[in-house]
Amino acid sequence: MNEAWSYQGHLFRLTGRNTDATMRATEDTPLKRLLFLLTLVSALMVSGLSPERSRAQQPDYVRVFIDLPSRANYTDRFFINNVGGNVRWEFETSNTISVELPQRAVDHLMQLSGRFFNIRIEPKATLVNAIDWGVDQINAERVWGGAENAVNVTGNAGAGTKVAVIDTGFDSDHPDLEVNIAGGRNFVANPDNNNYEDDNGHGTHVAGTIAAADNGIGLVGVAPEASLYGLKVLNAQGSGSFGDIVKAIEWATGLGGGTKADIINMSLGCFGAGCNDPALKAAVDNAYAAGVLVVVAAGNNGPGANTVGYPAMYDSAIAVAATNSSNAVASFSSRGSQVELAAPGVSIRSTYPNNSYATLNGTSMATPHVAGLAALVKAANPSITASQIRTRLQQTATDLGAAGRDTSYGYGLIDAVAAVGGEAPPPPPPSAPFVSCTAQAAVTSSAGDNNGYQTTPANACADGGEVATDTNSGSGTSTSCTSTQKDKHNFY
Beta carbons within 8 Å of 181's beta carbon, 6+ residues apart: 170, 172, 207, 227, 228, 229, 230
How many Å apart are CA 223 and CA 210, to the nearest integer?
6
What is the rounded CA–CA span in Å between residue 57 and residue 40?
20
364, 408, 445, 478: the catalytic one is 364
CA–CA separation, 264 and 253 (whole Å) = 9
The 3-state secondary structure of 311-358, one letter per residue: CCCCCCCEEEEEECCCCCECCCCCCCCCEEEEEECCCEEEEECCCEEE
Q: Which of 167, 176, 198, 415 is catalytic?
A: 167
Picking from 385, 376, 379, the residue whose alpha carbon sits closest to that of residue 428 is: 385
Q: Is-contact 275 311, C-beta < 8 A?
A: no
Determine which one of 174, 202, 205, 489 is catalytic: 202
Distance in angstroms (rounded) separating the CA atoms of residues 193 and 196: 8
Running DSSP on this structure, what letter comes out for residue 203?
H
- The verdict on whether 132 is a catalytic residue reads no
Give the Cα separation of 262 and 268 in Å (integer). 19
Is residue 489 annotated as a catalytic residue, yes or no? no
Query: Cα Rg for the chain, rounded, in angstroms?
Result: 34
Cβ atoms of residues 213 and 179 within 8 Å = yes
Alpha-carbon gap, residue 298 to 266, rounded angstroms: 10
Q: Residue 377 in contact with residue 389, Cβ under 8 Å?
A: yes
CB 289 within 8 A of CB 300: no
Catalytic (active site) residue 202 = yes
Task: Please report, for residues 154, 209, 216, 221, the alpha-carbon distance to residue 127 in angstroms, rounded to integers and kept in the order given.
Answer: 20, 17, 8, 15
CB 245 within 8 A of CB 280: yes
Q: Point out the residues that are catalytic.
A: 167, 202, 364
